[in-house]
A and B are shown apart, each in its own frame.
Chain A
Amino acid sequence: MSDARGDVGERAQDPRDGRLISWFQRWRRPIRYWLSSRSSVPAAEIDDLAQEVFLRLLRYSDDIAIENPQSYLFRIASNVANEWRERAQRRQPHDNSWLEDLQSAPGAEPENAVAHGRARAHVQAAVQRLPPRQREVLLLHVNEGLTYKQITERLGLSPRIVLRDLTRAYSHLRTQLNLEDLEDMDQR
């Protein structure tokens, strides 16, 4: 996700991707804030976090939040995650968090490399089990960064079919994969 700058810079030359760039600007930043906090919010605790996010989202009037519901959602999630981390550090004033910051790049750890390979294999297997057309649109979406409407133009299918296929592909992966495992591998 943090290779967004390079992607955007490259695609900026293609006017077809104007919407995508706009999306990056509006949506990606709050997501990055949220994901930057992910180390303090294990996937197993997302339900608890969602409860707190839910309460705070209710505080926003529809008039304000409707401008960008996604952005508000992830900003709030980021806030909550950071507050949790601060609270945890206050509870354990002598913890080893500073050591964690000094450690080498997580991807370089041998055990992480093994686990990363295992998670990749799981994803690979789950993707291979998708029906061919779902796999194709997912690949275009993920690898090419195309929106579902751009995929529609590329493949000559109807928008509804592409949206349905992508929705089902994501839902299938979501239920097939253990997100806790992926989270451990999501080291950047």
Chain B
Amino acid sequence: MTDRIDENPPLSIPEQAAEWLLRWHCGDLTIAERFEYLQWLKTSPVHIAETLRMCRLYSWLENTKLKLFITNEDSFSNVVELPPREREAAATRRARTVGLWKGRIAAGIAAIALTGAVSFVVKTSWLDHRLQTHASEWRSVPLSDGSSIEAAPYTSLRHVIGEERRLITMAQGLAIFRVAKDRSRPFLVEAGGVEVRATGTQFTVERQPDQIIVMVREGSVVVSPSDAAAVKFERVALTEDWQVTISGSGSPKLERVDSNQAFRRAQGRLNFEVGDTIQDAVDQFNQFNAIQIEVDHATGARQMRGSFDAIDPLSFAASVERATGSPMVRESDELVRIGRRESHTDAHTD
């Protein structure tokens, strides 16, 4: 918000939500500010939840305003003209009761129309055979063959369900694939030169900038280089609770994992166990959210256990603050700092 009071500390989320509502109420937002507001809403579901709560509070206050200040014993009593407003409000409430059914019918019709419009938009995006998620967004998509894809934030892929094969091309991100059995049409996932072939199974594929990770929860898959792969490696058959990591070196790294926990992570639940550091946890949150966390080296090196909602980095940061005593500072809409500010060099040489 360009009109924000700069000399004061950053606003809390309830304050930001209130300020946007008040400024919108005033009707003085420029196009640039409306864009900024939109981006703020799109930053996190937490912002939307707070806006909805603030709206309810405003609605409630306004609806009961005539009674709220009736016992005020200070100088503000001369501002409120209670008697005529009380009568007006009572008359309005009576009219409201009479009009209740009409209102409900109108709201119902509007809801159906709007639901139809939204459904159309969603359906159109499905027919486009593309799936793209943004920050804090988990999305589940059923495919025409009975399979399904659950995509984590910042995932981008295309899917084509053909007569001879079912092909998913993954550009980035993390997704769970639940494959419907169909031996006549192999289910292929291509990601960065790696091909994952399945018939009926459940597995995840994660494409990171420098490596591809495939993990199987049920059944089996075969991981091999795709035709266009720059780096060749020996094909690997993966079964339940096994994971393979393919990196630029070309040698697949196999390891046994807890597939249930890996699935929970892919679905938005982050669990940290003994041995996991706060920095590890911060990296996970930063992977999924627009709101980024920075933690100083000393705090980041400490261990932390717990289970967190992956789209709620602020609650996680508050937990770290409580557990470690390192102060949490909301530096901007998209940056939370835990502990002292330090230079990039410090963080790696300390």
Assembled-state Cα–Cα distance A19/B34 (Å)? 17
Contact A148 B92 (CB under 8 A): no
Chain A residues touching B, range: 35 or more
**Residues of chain A lying within 8 A (CB to CB) of residue B58:** 170
Chain A residues in the interface with B (C-beta under 8 A): 1-3, 6, 19, 22-23, 27, 31-38, 43, 46-47, 49-51, 53-59, 62, 65-70, 73-79, 82-83, 101, 105, 107, 120, 123-124, 127-128, 132, 135-136, 139-145, 147-149, 159-160, 163-164, 166-168, 170-171, 173-175, 177, 179, 182-183, 185-186, 188
- Given the known inter-chain contacts A50-B46, A54-B48, please indicate yes or no for A120 contacting B55, CB distance below 8 A: no
A70 — which chain B residues lie within 8 A by C-beta? 21, 24, 37
A-B residue pairs in contact (CB < 8 Å), sample of 20: A2-B92, A2-B96, A3-B89, A53-B48, A53-B52, A55-B137, A65-B38, A70-B21, A73-B48, A77-B52, A79-B115, A123-B60, A123-B64, A144-B79, A149-B26, A163-B3, A163-B22, A166-B18, A171-B15, A179-B57
Choice from A53, A78, A123, A135 contacting B114 with Cβ under 8 Å: A78
User: B19 interface residue, CB < 8 Å from A?
Assistant: yes
The residues of B that contact A168 with a CB separation of less than 8 Å are: 15
Docked-complex contact A167 and B11, CB < 8 angstroms? yes
From B118-126, B160-168, B221-229, B330-338, give the one contacting chain A: B118-126
Chain B interface residue count, CB cutoff 8 Å, equals 79
Q: Given A27-B24, A46-B52, A50-B49, A36 and B122 touching (CB < 8 A)?
A: no
Interface string of B1-36 (1 = CB under 8 A from A): 001010010011011001101111111100100110
Bound complex: CA of A160 vs CA of B253, how far in Å? 59
Chain B residues within 8 Å of A82, by CB: 108, 111, 115
Residues of B within 8 A of A2 (CB): 63, 92, 96, 103
- B55 neighbours in A (Cβ, 8 Å): 31, 34-35, 74
A58 to B311, CA, bound (A): 15
Judge whether A136 and B24 touch: CB under 8 Å. Answer: no
Is B254 an interface position by the 8 A CB rule? no
Task: Decide if B158 is an interface residue (CB 8 Å cutoff).
Answer: no
From B67-75, B209-217, B243-251, B317-325, give the one contacting chain A.
B67-75
| Distance of B108 from chain A, by nearest CB (Å) | 8
Verify A1–B57 contact, CB threshold 8 A.
no
Report which of B3, B11, B25, B53 forms a contact with A179, defined as CB distance below 8 A: B53
Q: Which of the residues B25, B34, B54 comes within 8 Å of A66, measured between beta carbons?
A: B34
| Shortest Cβ gap from B223 to chain A (Å) | 31
Docked Cα-Cα span, A6 to B115, in Å, equals: 30
User: CA separation between A82 and B65, bound complex, in Å?
Assistant: 28
B92 touches A46 (CB 8 A): no
Given A27-B25, A47-B45, 16 new contacts (CB under 8 A): A6-B88, A31-B59, A34-B52, A36-B103, A43-B56, A50-B45, A65-B38, A142-B68, A147-B26, A149-B28, A167-B15, A167-B22, A170-B21, A171-B15, A171-B18, A182-B57
B129 cross-chain contacts in A, Cβ below 8 A: none
Interface of B toward A, CB cutoff 8 Å: 3, 5, 8, 11-12, 14-15, 18-19, 21-28, 31, 34-35, 37-39, 41-42, 44-46, 48-69, 71-72, 74, 76, 79-80, 88-89, 92-93, 96-97, 103-104, 107-108, 110-111, 114-115, 118, 121-122, 125, 134, 136-137, 139, 311
**Known A50-B48, A69-B37, A142-B61: A147·B80 in contact at CB below 8 Å:** no
Distance, CA A19 to CA B27, complexed state (A): 7
For B94, the closest partner residue in chain A by CB is A105
What's the nearest-Cβ distance from chain B to residue A64, in Å? 10
B236 CB to nearest chain A CB (Å): 35
In the complex, the answer to whether B45 meets A51 with C-beta atoms within 8 Å is: yes
Are B18 and A174 neighbours in the complex by a CB distance under 8 Å?
yes
Are A69 and B38 neighbours in the complex by a CB distance under 8 Å? yes
CB nearest neighbor in A for B117: A79
Report the minimum CB–CB distance from A160 to chain B (whole Å): 5
Shortest Cβ distance from A162 into chain B, in angstroms?
9
